[in-house]
Amino acid sequence: MGLDNLSPPRGSKSSAKRRGRGHGSGLGKTSGRGHKGQKSRSGASIPAWFEGGQMPLYRRTPKRGFKPHRRTEWHIVNLSELDRVEGSGIDPQALRASGIIRGTDRPVKILGRGDVGRAVDVRAHAFSASAREKIEAAGGTARVIE
């Protein structure tokens, strides 16, 4: 036996159903589509969300709220994460280098969760009130950059 004379086991392969090839085939005339109706026509495929012409669920339910299309998306950094940055000067480039934020394309906001273990000079685009208090209580400075 070689690779050139392998064959699949008997009964494991079935030939394709040849539709519309006479009554004797069992799939002649209507080709298994039944009689008339939308789904018997060629090219007929009804979307999964179509509900037969009744008002669709999405349009029946009320819509509320909106998302402002020009809102500012921030990089959020908590005080507990600042200990992972080497040195006393912390800015967006230092946060990027230490892997806390992914890129410098968005502004950085410092939030007050956690504590600062040392005096650090933090430069960011925005600070929460509690973050500013904790940084200054530890002997550091919080500077806003544009």
| Residue 105 contacts residue 95 (beta carbons within 8 Å) | no
Which residues make beta-bridge pairs with 127?
A: 110
| pLDDT at residue 32, as a whole number | 92
Domains and CATH numbers, the chain: 18-64 (no CATH), 75-144 (3.100.10.10)
Which residues make beta-bridge pairs with 141?
A: 121
pLDDT tens by residue, the chain, 146 residues: 899 999 999 999 999 999 999 999 999 999 999 999 988 999 888 999 999 999 999 999 999 999 999 999 999 999 999 988 888 899 999 999 999 999 889 999 999 999 998 899 999 999 999 999 999 999 999 999 98
- Both tokens of 110, joined, read 């410092």
- Provide the edge-to-edge strand list for the sheet that holds 108-111: 75-78, 108-111, 126-127
Using CA atoms, how far apart are residues 133 and 137, in angstroms rounded to an integer?
Answer: 6
Q: What pTM was computed for the model? A: 0.57
